[in-house]
């Protein structure tokens, strides 16, 4: 129970990778805030976690691209738990299109939800971490942010942006005992990737040396490591969880 007494906010935790991260941290004793734009999904996940593990879990609906909603989500967390130890910036979306067909709206939406959100949530949370002189921020980037992808200029720009943000903030906050790292997943089986056409999934799988798609739990284990004391000397790092896809 290495996370007993710790409090974690996980964004986009109603389902998929975020949900697996929340479960993993709760299974090791952390109290969790399940933040999602989908209120029902957030409540369902919080309920499941409370029934399964003896921790506190609360659901908070917030659009992570909206500064006011992010600030009230963080205030509500402090009201409930009086501290925040881990922030997992996981919420993300795709709006794929080839560049010449990509609309300004598709560009802005992905940059807002996938990148601006990381700035908004981190800024709102770190003031509390600074006071505590302890914190762990883990950002969920993507291998697409490392190597690009046809039809994903908006998504890859946002995910690459997260990497630059991670390294800058890691430097800014290191003196306060706050580490900031990122995880770059490859092809992970969730609703986000299940929606893709069969031939695209087969093509992605061919690029994975380990020969299988990743599971949300594969990402959750690495996030838990980055939150743990074993990772206390790691900051500004980007860890691929991709079965070798982007090496």
Site of interaction with ligand NAP (CB under 6 A) = 11-12, 14-18, 36-38, 41, 63-65, 90-93, 113, 140, 142, 185, 187-188, 190-193
Pure H helices in the chain: 16-27, 39-52, 67-81, 104-110, 117-132, 143-147, 153-173, 191-194, 198-206, 216-227
| Residue 11: CB minimum distance to ligand NAP, A | 6
How many Cα atoms occupy the beta-carbon half-sphere of 130 within 13 Å? 11
Q: How far is the CB of 31 from ligand NAP (least distance, A)?
A: 20
27 versus 112: smaller Cβ distance to ligand NAP: 112
Specify the residue, 142 or 181, whose C-beta has the smaller distance to ligand NAP.
142
CB closer to ligand NAP out of 36 and 85 = 36
Residue 167 DSSP SS3? helix
Active site residues: 155
Coil, strand or helix at 59: strand
Least distance from ligand NAP to the Cβ atom of residue 75, Å: 17
Reduce the DSSP state of residue 56 to 3 states and report it. coil
Output 4 or 39, the one with its CB closest to ligand NAP.
39
Count other Cβ atoms within 10 Å, centred on residue 25: 29
Q: How far is the CB of 226 from ligand NAP (least distance, A)?
A: 15
């Amino acid at each position: 129970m290495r996370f007993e007494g710790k409090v974690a906010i996980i964004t986009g935790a109603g389902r998929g990778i975020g949900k697996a991260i929340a479960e993993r941290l709760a299974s090791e004793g952390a109290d969790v805030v399940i933040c999602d734009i989908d209120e029902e999904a957030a409540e369902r996940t919080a309920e499941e976690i409370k029934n399964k593990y003896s921790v506190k879990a609360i659901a908070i609906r917030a659009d992570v691209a909206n500064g006011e909603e992010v600030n009230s989500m963080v205030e509500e967390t402090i009201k409930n738990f009086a501290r925040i130890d881990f922030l997992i910036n996981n919420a993300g979306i795709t709006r794929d299109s080839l560049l010449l067909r990509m609309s300004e709206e598709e560009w802005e939406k992905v940059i807002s939800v996938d990148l601006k959100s990381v700035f908004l949530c981190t800024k709102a949370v770190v003031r509390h971490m600074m006071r505590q002189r302890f914190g762990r921020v883990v950002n969920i980037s993507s291998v697409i942010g490392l190597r690009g992808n046809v039809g994903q200029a908006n998504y890859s720009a946002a995910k690459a942006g997260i990497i630059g943000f991670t390294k800058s903030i890691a430097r800014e906050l290191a003196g306060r005992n706050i580490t900031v790292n990122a995880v770059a997943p490859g092809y992970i089986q969730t609703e986000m990737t299940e929606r893709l056409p069969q031939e695209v999934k087969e093509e992605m799988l061919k690029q994975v040396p380990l020969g299988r798609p990743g599971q949300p739990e594969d990402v959750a284990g690495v996030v838990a490591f980055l939150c743990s004391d074993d990772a206390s000397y790691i900051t500004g790092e980007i860890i691929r969880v991709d079965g070798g896809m982007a090496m």
